Structure 1
Amino acid sequence: MVKRRTCMLAAAVLGALAASPAWADTYPSKPVRIVVPLAPGGSNDILARMLASDMTAEFKETVYVENRPGAAGNIATDFVAKSAGDGYTLAIAPNQTVSVNPALYPSLPFDVQKDLRGVTLLATLPQILVVSSKVPANTMEELIAYARKNPGKLTFASAGPGSPQHMSAAIFQNLTGTEMTHVPYKGSAPAIVDVLAGTVDVMFCPANSALPHVAGKRLRALGITGDERHAQLPDVPRVAEVVKDFRSDIWIGIVAPKSTPDDVVAKLNGAFSRSMKNPANQKKLAELGITTRTSTPAEFDSLMAEETQMWTRVIKQNQIKPE
């Protein structure tokens, strides 16, 4: 009798599950929020608004962007990490917030590996190694030779301790045996202004910010990060062509709370991938120096974990501390 009741109960449960639609079948049924950890206007914000527009059209539900800048992106990331895992709160995830910050800050209120899951990689943004007109170097080789002969004399600008610009310069110095003096700023804009003025000598500058100044011959481009040369600077070598094992890029993805169902993540991944593969979107982003590059959720999870390990080594080696 007990066995028969158990079988009947199991059959009822299975029947109920079969009758219940999967999460993704009804998702989304209300507005979706994409949280951006930085102020409006930058690459992360541009990507978020492009995705929101495309998702609204595809899903027939409002998808909106909410900017929550502050604490190097930790405020927004923490907010999303603690949100309900229902697919209605997502976060734009530059490598600064999900790979560098976990290595840089000793006690974050969230754990990227435990509290968040990747949805997809969205894009990469190379940096250009630029020097002011006062620096006596026209190539990377000349810059390295000058820096070796004059340790500490050259200065390099960044958007602050632990920023992509700072981390790229740290790796560059480690691999070339050079020593330059770090001059941190509160953001890329004031940093590049001082490089243009010749107050600071060197900077790994996001491509979208550097390209106009390179084109106007106000800055000299000596190298570019990333896996390929830049279409607008075909004669400028990749840093890795001169500095073996150099690897440092800005990439941007999107994450969700860890408990978000697999089928919802898969549905989001498909929608975001279609948006990033739209030729019109790719053209618009390319004009800003941004290259679209999507992934599976698992691939993005692996990228975040792998780069956190890499940045942990770099931060320890260079004794980098947050502000």
Structure 2
Amino acid sequence: MKTKVIKVLGAALLALAMPLAAQAQAWPAKPVKIIVPFAAGGATDVVARLLAQKLSEGWGQPVVVENKAGAGGNIGADAVAKSPGDGYTMLMTSGSIVTANPHMYKTLTYDPAKDLVAVTNVATGPQVIVVHPGVPAKDLKEFIAYAKANPKKVNFGSAGIGTQTHLAAENFAFAAGIDITHVPYKGESAALTDLIGGQIQMATPNLAAAIGHIQSGKLKALAVTSKARNAQVPDVAAAAEALPGFENAGWFGLMVPAGTPADVIDRIQKDSAKVLLSAEFREKLAQQGMAPVANTPSDFAAAIREESGRWARVIKERNLTAQ
């Protein structure tokens, strides 16, 4: 009798365990959402949509990109931080959100270090210093001279306070010794629209967001912020040619809410890396002036911590704060 009871209980436990195992193996069993914390059309959005399409094909589930812009990316990041930790909501972050914003903003409604978990750094690429075609400068040296002759009169746009596109311009202004005025937007695409329209004079968007406008002649590119020239815009100088040693790179990565199961994180990372390192995707990123990274969660987390420490020092030295 005792043996029979044990067998019945064992069968019951096995029956309960099987759906749970099947559920874990079946992830994703429903649509997945990638939140982009900026308006559509910027580099973060471009990268997210390229990756979402390929992940959707591999997973057999829709991977939907949702834009939640505002507060330098904090609104979208907060939405992900407060989502269930089940792998069905991910954040396509730009580097500044999790490395600079914690030091820029006096109060945050979430803690990037505790509420978000690194999955993989997706891609990296330079910013580009662009001006309205009417600005009287044919290269970076002439622009620096123009800005010095007109302190505070050059307005530059960004994707928001504390974003990569804001900090790239601050880094450039500091290195060049110029005094320019910041005009924040809810995304770099909005800043570029006003730059093309002549409402502002300069911006330092990610190259991926500006390359089409540069190639069409709507914007004048003065320099890329990488150490060397970029193959997609070979005629555009590197900023280091006018400012020796200057470099400012941007990056975009996937993060998930804290509590997401380790096996789901591992699945997302490995499937993303497979896409990112494929010849087809490398070419798509190259067309945007970017390169894939596809590192592990632990390596990505370590890189975030290291960069956060660097931004903490820079932000304190330059007194860059936000409400």
Distance between the aligned counterparts of 2:239 and 2:139, measured in 1?
11
Give the corresponding residue for 2:37: 37
The answer to whether 1:296 aligns with 2:289 is no
Query: Aligned equivalents of 1:59 and 1:189: distance in 2?
Result: 30
Query: Partners of 2:45 and 2:155 in 1: how far apart?
Result: 30
1:211-245 CA-to-partner distances (Å, cap 9, x unmatched) read 33333444332210235422232132222343244
TM-score normalised by L of structure 1: 0.80
Residue 276 of structure 1 is matched in structure 2 by 276
What displacement does 1:178 show?
A: 2.0
Letter in 2 for 1:92: M
The root-mean-square deviation of aligned C-alpha atoms, in Å, is 3.2
SS at match of 1:320: coil
CA contact (8 A) 1:30 1:62 kept: no
Distance 1:187 1:96 in 2: 13
Distance 1:268 1:71 in 2: 27
Paired letter, 2:124? T
Which residue of 2 is the match for residue 232 of structure 1? 232
Look up the match of 2:27.
Answer: 28
39-48 vs 245-254, greater mean Cα deviation: 39-48
Give the CA deviation at 1:272.
0.3
- 2:214 match: 214
CA shift for structure 1 position 315: 3.0
Q: Does the alignment pair 1:191 with 2:201?
A: no
Equivalent-residue separation in structure 2 for 1:49 and 1:219 (angstroms): 24
> Helix, strand or coil for the counterpart of 2:55?
helix
Paired residue total: 307
Report the Cα offset of residue 259 of structure 1.
Answer: 2.9
- The 3-state SS of whatever aligns with 1:267 is helix
Q: Which moved more, 1:248-257 or 1:49-58?
A: 49-58
Structure 1, unaligned stretches of length 5 or more?
A: 1-15
Match of 2:160 in 1: 160
Question: What amino acid maps onto 2:278 in structure 1?
Answer: N
CA distance in 2, matches of 1:184, 1:70: 10
Is the alpha carbon distance of 1:220 and 1:304 closer, same or farther for their aligned partners in structure 2, counting shifts above 3 Å?
A: same
Aligned equivalents of 2:211 and 2:97: distance in 1? 25
In structure 2, how many angstroms separate the alpha carbons of the residues matched to 1:246 and 1:81?
Answer: 34
Contact 1:22 1:263 in 2 (8 A): no
Q: Percent identity?
A: 38
* Structure 2: stretches of 5+ with no match in the other structure: 1-13
TM-score, length basis structure 2: 0.80
Q: Write the distance in 1 (CA, Å) between the matches of 2:23 and 2:239.
A: 43
Mapped contact 2:39–2:189 kept (Cα < 8 A): no
Distance 2:152 2:56 in 1: 52
